[in-house]
Every structure is written in C-alpha cells, then in structure tokens.
A and B are shown apart, each in its own frame.
Chain A
Amino acid sequence: GENVEQHPSTLSVQEGDSAVIKCTYSDSASNYFPWYKQELGKGPQLIIDIRSNVGEKKDQRIAVTLNKTAKHFSLHITETQPEDSAVYFCAASISSSNTGKLIFGQGTTLQVKP
C-alpha cells in the first residue's frame, strides 16, 4: 500500500549549519509533496510543497528537491536557527478530483544548538 519513509528520525545541528531530511514514497502516482513543521502543542504548519512537474522549489532558507525516478524528495534548511527546532513531517498525496489524502512520514525531530 501507500507508504512514506522518512530519515533520519532525529537530527542535531549547530546554529548556522544546514539540515537535510529525506523521504521516499512508494506510490508512483503520487504527485504532491508537502512538508510540515510541528512545534510543541501546535498543529502541523505547512512550510513548503512541491508538485511532480517541478524538480526543485526554494523559499528563503528552505528548499525541497524531488526525484521522481527514484521516488524520493528532500527538505533542505540552510543557515539553521534555534527557532527551526521542531518536528518536521514529509507527506505524499495523489492529487485528484476525488481525494486530497496525505500519507505522512514518521517525522524528524530537528534540534538546532545555539
């Protein structure tokens, strides 16, 4: 069935370093890939997304890359700051007129040390 694998489960970096989180999806029909940031006591916040017709997307310090052939996508955070510390989730979805269901990875706890 549909599955999204996310690695690593925990990631610790020094402030100013880069962080990379990787996800692999199983369903080749997936065509929408969002990333969410969840802080303690809050719901997931959409931070960036990419569709299958695009290989890379960037928004300030955050970028996402997609390799459809290998069925994996990655989140890149540059110049990390302590406020980037949170749990990050990747997800995959098959965009259609009938569903927007998201399949989530297991999450990565990112710690940015000052």
Chain B
Amino acid sequence: KAGVTQTPRYLIKTRGQQVTLSCSPISGHRSVSWYQQTPGQGLQFLFEYFSETQRNKGNFPGRFSGRQFSNSRSEMNVSTLELGDSALYLCASSLRISYNEQFFGPGTRLTVL
C-alpha cells in the first residue's frame, strides 16, 4: 500500500507570494492533518480535516488555510509569505479522526527568500 505522498517536495518562494501544497493520504484514510516543522519551534499542529471539514486548527495566522476534497486529498495554502514561514510542512493521514495512528509523508520543504 502506498504511503502518504506530498507534492512538491521542495519549493522556493519570495516574500509576499502565496503557495499551495498538496497531500494525498494513504488509500482508505479519511483524515488528514498538517504540521509545520522548524528547528526553533519543532513540530506544530496546523489543522486537521475529516470528511472535507476542518475539525481543528492550531495557533497560526489566517494566512494559513487548507481544504480537503471528496477523495480525501488535501491542500494547504499560505498567502503573503514571510521569511518565518520557511519550514518543512508535513502531512499525516489516519483512518478516521478518532483513530489516532497518524502516518506522515516526506514533507514539503518551503524556503522563503
């Protein structure tokens, strides 16, 4: 069974631009969560989706948004990029929102110049 896939793997943007990251969960998994990983703050929860609905959101500004499609694939968007948004963005999938085992993808490395 294929794992979680994330595209693109690497991205370079400049301040003020916006970016969209994509995540395809493991087949049959219906819940998708996003995390930001930085050397200073570690792994921080961004948001989670189940059945195309955002079920929970972390403490990030409104510039960070996401959505989930009917096939469980998810995208996250960051608008008006700032230097501090440079990070590894990780997507994790689980069978359902209450089924805690979460499996992570390889991440998208975003660099903001």
Inter-subunit contact B105/A103 (CB<8 Å): no
Chain A residues whose CB sits within 8 angstroms of the CB of B99 once the complex forms: 100
Binds A, one of B11-19, B41-49, B65-73, B75-83: B41-49
Inter-subunit contact A104/B43 (CB<8 Å): yes
- Per-position 1/0 for B34-59, Cβ under 8 A of A: 01000000111100100000011010
Report the separation of the CA atoms of residues A93 and B92 in the bound assembly, to the nearest whole angstrom: 14
Which residues of chain A from 42 to 74 have a CB within 8 Å of any chain B CB? 42-46, 49
Chain B residues whose CB sits within 8 angstroms of the CB of A49 once the complex forms: 100-101
Chain B residues whose CB sits within 8 angstroms of the CB of A97 once the complex forms: 97-98
Inter-subunit contact B104/A43 (CB<8 Å): yes
Which residues of chain A from 10 to 58 have a CB within 8 Å of any chain B CB? 32, 34, 36, 41-46, 49
| Interface size band for A | 20 to 34
Number of B residues contacting the other chain (C-beta, 8 Å)?
26
A51's nearest neighbour on chain B, judged by CB, is B100
Inter-subunit contact B97/A100 (CB<8 Å): yes
Enumerate 30 A-B pairs (CB-CB under 8 Å) in ascending A order. Answer: A32-B100, A34-B101, A34-B102, A36-B104, A42-B106, A42-B107, A43-B104, A43-B105, A43-B107, A44-B90, A44-B104, A46-B101, A46-B104, A49-B100, A49-B101, A89-B42, A91-B43, A95-B98, A98-B56, A98-B97, A99-B55, A100-B94, A100-B97, A101-B33, A101-B48, A102-B43, A102-B45, A104-B43, A104-B44, A105-B42
Contacts beyond the supplied A46-B104, A102-B33, A102-B102: 20 A-B pairs with Cβ under 8 Å: A34-B100, A36-B104, A42-B107, A44-B43, A44-B90, A44-B104, A46-B101, A49-B101, A89-B43, A93-B100, A96-B98, A100-B99, A100-B102, A101-B33, A101-B56, A101-B58, A102-B43, A102-B100, A104-B44, A106-B42
Q: Which residues of A contact B (CB under 8 A)?
A: 32, 34, 36, 41-46, 49, 89, 91, 93, 95-107
